[in-house]
Chains A and B, each alone.
Chain A
Amino acid sequence: MMDEFELTRRVLKDPPDDPEAEARALARLEKVMGAPQKAPSRRSPAWLAVAAAIAALSLGSLAVIQPFGHNNAAADELNNLGAIAGGAPGSVLGDGQYYLIQVQEFGTKRTTDLGSGSVFAMTVRDSMRTWIAADGTSYRETAYSSVRFSSPDDQATWQEAGRPTIPHAGDVDKDRFAKGNGPWMDTSGLSSDPVQLESQLRTRDGVTTDQGLYDTIGNLLSQGDASPALRAALFHVASGITGVELVGDVTDPLGRAGTAIALDESGHRTELIFDGSTSDLLALEKFNLSPDGSVELENSRAFEPTQIVTTLPNDATPAKN
């Protein structure tokens, strides 16, 4: 089967040669070429590049100030976002109120069948809504809009494993969680001092790699329940991670304009996409990096602004401790 590039080449057909168009364009060009010219200056000849490299090496102190892989543009952007986050109004839940967190997810979900130990992958699109009460209990609904096996091999593995239950398009899972058991992170007790915060995240949450730290920061920012001071500190910690890279202006999976900042490590890439005017995290995207240079989207999560609501779906009281 053709890949996407070949298919695109075939659908957007290469137009036939057009000598007349070529002649018209050349006539315009020759008219300009015949006009009096300013001689172009050679730019960046090889010897100049070598000289620049030698000069840079001689400035050894630069390497001490900026560790390899540190990207000033990314750090500056993260610090700017932190300043915006720190100046935003905070929110505190009252009795009978809930944070409503809405996430659109797309990507690969790997399932291990506990009986056989087989692992199969499915490509899933779902919409997840989570209500978190002030006491830490919560309720979540996950609505699946698309579910398919990632490959025929995955489907065969699933069949060989005895066809364990899998979600289908149209299914809605409903889950209740006691305090501390929800699939999100507890922001209580986290310091708003960046140094202490980084230490807490690395120890309390067992983060051992920079990528893990970056992911954790993304997850905490996505929850919407962190105080402005904590959010500012999270941005500050992120700005100090070696290797963060400013990707620039992007469009998130929901079509919103944002600024992406990425971190590559150990064959994985995490991109966080922020609203530059509010510092809100719009999306978190994970990619697999192959040694051959190819990149595959592993999953994406797009976040809608966290709301405070006073109602839950019917019969959906969060679990008690």
Chain B
Amino acid sequence: MTDAEVIARSGEDPSAFREIFVRYHSSVLGYARRRVGWEVGEEVAAQTFLEAFTHRSRFDMRFDSAKPWLMAIATNLIRHHLRDERTHIAALLRVPKELPPDPVDDPAALDAERMGPALARALLSLSDQDRETFLLVAIAELTYRETATALDVPIGTIRSRISRAKTTLREHLGQEMAIHMWEEESSDDG
């Protein structure tokens, strides 16, 4: 049964909405906690499902999946907690306490540890709109089209916001990544 069918059924049988909770609470909780931290994230996720249930008649039945709609509700709620988001991201600015014991086993994890502070600075430098768009794709793992649906803007707007965000991130991360070697070399050569 699709999400749309479940939500339609919950019109007659409100308890049917439990299925939507079972399908998506974990995703919404993960998204919210990654954006605003543990405690606030839990509250945002819980509120998301209360809002969704109360206003389930607003769900557009043309969409099979409820995920973009739920992420949109969570994103709207997070807009009231932007200070928490900044605090949460700023915590990544701290130098990692210790690196993974054997980077050979998972070099990507080592990269992530090293890049954390630079990524945090980059995310904090983005506009709120560009950051929320980027994070809907990156951590809520919505497609561009689903993100456009969630934010109710044209897909071209999503593309340009993502492009702007990635450009800014690359600029910040470029100082940490191999790209700086080209810069140094060009300075020497030129």
Contacts and interface: CB of A to CB of B under 8 A. Distances in A.
Interface of A: 1-2, 4-15, 17-18, 21-22, 24-26, 28-30, 32-34, 37, 39-46, 49, 106, 147-149, 152, 155, 158-159, 163, 165-166, 168-169, 245, 247-251, 255, 262, 264, 269, 271, 285, 287, 289, 293-297
Contact of A11 (B18, B35, B45, B92): B92
B99 interface: no
Given A42-B61, A250-B127, A285-B160, A7 B119 contact: yes
Interface residues of B, number: 81
B144 A297 contact: no
A25 B11 contact: no
Nearest to B45: A25
Contacts of A37: 14
B139 A40 contact: no
Nearest to B41: A15
B157 interface: yes
Contacts of A9: 138-139
Interface of A is mostly: mixed
Interface string B159-185: 111111111011001100111001101
A40 B182 contact: no
Nearest to B48: A25
Nearest to B16: A33
A295 B50 contact: no
Given A12-B34, A42-B11, A251-B127, A149 B182 contact: yes
B4 to A, nearest CB: 9
B162 A295 contact: yes
A242 to B, nearest CB: 15
A8 B135 contact: yes
A211 to B, nearest CB: 14
Contacts of A163: 189-190
Contact of A7 (B57, B115, B178): B115
Nearest to A28: B46
A37 B25 CA distance: 22
A264 to B, nearest CB: 6
A40 B57 CA distance: 4
B189 A159 contact: yes
A297 B169 CA distance: 12
B60 A44 contact: yes
A37 B38 CA distance: 32
7 contacts: A1-B178, A7-B119, A11-B92, A14-B34, A21-B45, A49-B62, A269-B160
Contacts of B54: 32
B168 to A, nearest CB: 9
Contact of A8 (B38, B61, B119, B129): B119
A24 B42 contact: yes
Nearest to B20: A29
Contacts of A26: 18, 21, 25
A270 B141 CA distance: 27
